[in-house]
Amino acid sequence: MKVLHANKFYYLQGGTERYFIETMELLEKEKIQCVPFAMHHPKNLETPYSKYFVSNVDFSKVSFSKEGFRVAGRMLYSFEAKKKVEKLIEDEKPDIAHIHNIYHQISPSILPVFKNNNIPVVMSVQDHKIICPDFLLCTNHPKLRYCQDCKRHKYYKAIQNKCIKESYMASTLTALEMSFHKLVGYYERFVDTYIAPSNFVKELLIEWGYPEKKIVTIPLYVKHDERPYSFMYDSQNPYIIYWGRHSKEKGVRYLVAAMEKLPHVKCIICGTGPEHEELKQIAKDKKIDNVVFLGFVPDEDLTRIARDAQFVIVPSVFPENFGLVVTEGFAFGKPVIGPKRGAPTELIDVDRNGLLFEAQNATDLAEKIDSLWNKKDKISEMGKEARRDAETLYDPKLHIERLITTYNTVLKKNK
């Protein structure tokens, strides 16, 4: 079997790209030939298929100019992507196409090409983009909140809320993009099966009008064999940990606010992002000395820090499609405290492998942290269950088996 995998980036830019690249590697081990299709970029991995990649484009340069309108037009329909994928299909003759994140830089212009060549399409739904202009189901208008204002194709709400970069121009462009793609029905007409990473995403897609019969749930995996685990913690220097992006949707400000109420608890925060400096300043102004911001931390150091922590915090505001940090925490043998919103409610079994708190509620988060802090035996028992889940429910081999089964099912239906 030969599978064409399409994703706009071919380097480790984020969680979607990690999945895209690592999944191709795992499939290759099972004798499934994988062909990448992406955008040219200086950071791209080496591949003989790069000659088929589309040219690089920077959407931050969209403006009221000839070049700006050309770039914006590519969001709606890319003639280049259509032409390049036609050539790739002609030369490589894939059996099936697996779509990841093709928004903006590639566009769904490639989807009808697969249909015209009798190539079935499966799509991994790893964010909320096919229903939400801002990917997140989260808005700042009138305040930071979980949002479904655009339901029933009311994409003009994204303009009213200035959802994209807090800009009317960017929000208008994205609303037009969503409206055009919905009008043509690219994802509805040309995708044979949607792969949801959680039942939460499956139910959400159904709620927004996608047919249940075309959706299959395949939880994401965690490479637990690469994660050193410990059911104990550093008792000489006890701490809890958060790692990830520092942005509005990740809810790190609620974690900082919770820590203000828990001066006896040390919290290490790893990562960076648009809110990083602001969060550091908040902690400094309020003299929240028990929060330590480490900034970017290399993987080997993060592995050690996570392994020796008491437990992991996931304070997300937006509804996570899956929550990879949750399963990564499990792989380290750690309980996880996450929000009662989105997929973490499926992953976290309360009092068995973690705890849940009311999203955007710093007081409730503080209470949950305090209820588990320094509970040595409870942390150990919950950590063992967490590790067991990582090894069984979220095992890479199980995921690949389910993925190949889905490919075969779709191919059979397409005959």
Judge whether residue 50 has pLDDT over 60.
yes
**Mean pLDDT value of segment 54-63:** 76
Percent of residues, the chain, with pLDDT higher than 90: 92
- Per-residue pLDDT averaged across 227-236, rounded? 96
Please report which confidence band the pLDDT of residue 35 belongs to, taking 50, 70 and 90 as the band edges. Answer: very high
List of residues 6+ apart from 414 with CB closer than 8 A: 118, 120, 192
Query: What is the arithmetic mean of pLDDT over 235-264?
Result: 97
Per-residue pLDDT at 224:
98
pLDDT of residue 325: 97
Residue 397 structure tokens: 């081999």
CA distance 103 to 200: 22
Overall average pLDDT of the 43-51 stretch: 98
* 164/135 Cα distance (integer angstroms): 10
pLDDT tops 60 at residue 150 = yes
Residue-level pLDDT at 107: 95
**Where would I find the beta strands (DSSP E) of 7-130?**
33-37, 96-99, 121-124
**pLDDT bucket at 63, cuts 50 / 70 / 90:** low
Is the pLDDT reported for residue 27 higher than 70? Answer: yes
Return the pLDDT at 74. 85
* Mean pLDDT along residues 97-105: 96
Q: Does pLDDT of 37 surpass 90?
A: yes
What per-residue confidence (pLDDT) applies to 304?
A: 97
Q: Exposed, middle or buried, 102 (CB in 10 Å: 0-12/13-18/19+)?
A: buried
Find the mean pLDDT for residues 177-182. 95
Average pLDDT, the chain: 95
Residue reference for tokens 């928004």: 103
Tell me if 352 sits within 8 A of 385, measured CB to CB. Answer: yes
* DSSP state, residue 52: G
User: How confident is the model at residue 185, as a pLDDT?
Assistant: 96
Q: Could you tell me the pLDDT band of residue 58, with boundaries at 50, 70 and 90?
A: confident
pLDDT at 141 (0 to 100): 87
pLDDT digit string (tens) for 336-360?
999 999 999 999 999 999 999 999 9
Question: Within 10 A of 148 (CB to CB), how many other CB atoms are there?
Answer: 17
Instruction: Please give the Cα distance from 207 to 193 (Å, whole number).
Output: 17
**Section 167-192 average pLDDT:** 94
Mean pLDDT within 43-52:
98
| C-alpha torsion sign, points 190, 195, 200, 206 | positive
The candidate with the shortest Cα–Cα distance to 207, out of 137, 143, 145, is 137
What is the band of 65 on the pLDDT scale with cuts at 50, 70, 90?
Answer: low
Q: What is the pLDDT of residue 64?
A: 54
Output the CA angle 390-394-396, nearest 5 degrees: 115
* pLDDT above 70 (res 62): no
Q: Which CATH code of 1.20.120.80, 3.40.50.2000, 3.20.20.300, 3.20.20.70 fits the domain covering 224-392?
A: 3.40.50.2000
Supply the DSSP symbol for 342: B
Q: What is the pLDDT of residue 411?
A: 98
* pLDDT(19) > 70: yes
- Tracing tokens 């608890």 back to the chain, one arrives at 265
Residues making up the chain, counted from first to last: 415
d(CA 117, CA 295): 48
Q: Pick from 85, 82, 81, 39: which is nearest to 58 by CA? A: 39
Q: Give residue 67's pLDDT band: very low, low, confident or very high (50, 70, 90).
A: low
pLDDT: which is higher, 331 or 67: 331
What residue spans define the domains of the chain? 2-126+192-221+395-414, 224-392
Common-topology check for domains 2-126+192-221+395-414 and 224-392: yes
- pTM here is 0.95
Q: Which two tokens stand for residue 78?
A: 């890319």
* Helix and strand counts by DSSP (H, E) for the chain: 16, 14
Consecutive H or E run containing 404: helix 396-414
- In one-letter notation, the amino acid at residue 129 is K
Return the biggest CA–CA distance within the chain. Answer: 66
According to DSSP, the residues that pair with 342 across neighbouring strands are 320
Report which residue type is found at 38. A
Say how far apart CA 240 and CA 229 lie, in whole Å: 15
Whether residue 69 is predicted with pLDDT greater than 90 in this model: the reply is no
Q: What is the pLDDT of residue 61?
A: 58
Which listed CATH number (3.30.1300.10, 1.10.12.10, 1.10.150.20, 3.40.50.2000) goes with 2-126+192-221+395-414?
A: 3.40.50.2000
- Segment 194-203 mean pLDDT: 98
Q: Is pLDDT of 70 > 90?
A: no
What is the amino acid identity at position 97?
A
Residues 75 and 67: their CA atoms lie apart, in Å, by 13
